[in-house]
Amino acid sequence: MANAVHRLIEMKTLQPELERLFDRYSRQFFLCALAVTGCRETAEDAIQDAFYRTLRIRPDVVNLKAYLFRCIRSAAIDLVRKENRHMAWSAHELFEYADTVADMDEQRHLLEKIARELTRLSSDEREVILQRLVGGLTYRGIAELLDRPLGTVTAWYRRGLKKLQDNVKDLT
């Protein structure tokens, strides 16, 4: 009984911090999951799973935000494996959350091409590009999230962006 009460107290002290992080980073959390899943519903499920697990487990971590990003990414990977999904985004689904796209009607054709071409990149290239360009994460933040060296992350970004630029240019 004492453990259950202690657990409840821990959950109540962690909950406000999780709510604050969600309010501040919900867009980036969503893009983190979407970069892996390619599906809005699965991405939302991954976020929910990650927050639920974090509340249940009460991790003793220094950087809760970084921990949540890793949990969300892991939950997304787990859901994709479980569902054995093939990734196929629509431009609307992918770029709805991008700050850089002002008028969807004028750019719909180009965005559809980009969304199609993103699925042709390696998962590492795609994830880094989305986290950087759409999610606004730094290279260092992405490297920490993926648990990869900074040089590897920047190489994936440059290589993926070059492929994307070449392929979209060929299609226009």
Confidence band, pLDDT 50/70/90 cuts, at residue 88: low
Q: Is the pLDDT of residue 90 over 90?
A: no
The ranges assigned to domains in the chain are 2-83, 91-171
151-to-6, 64, 144, 167 alpha-carbon distances in Å? 43, 24, 12, 24
- Compute the distance between CA of residue 15 and CA of residue 131 in angstroms, rounded to an integer: 26
Q: Which of 54-63, 80-89, 142-151 has the highest mean pLDDT?
A: 142-151
Q: What is the pLDDT of residues 10-59, one digit of tens each?
A: 556 677 888 888 888 888 888 888 888 888 888 899 999 998 888 777 66
pTM of the predicted model, to two decimals?
0.64
Q: CATH assignment of 91-171, given 1.10.10.10, 1.10.1740.10, 1.10.287.610, 3.30.930.10?
A: 1.10.10.10
pLDDT at site 94: 58
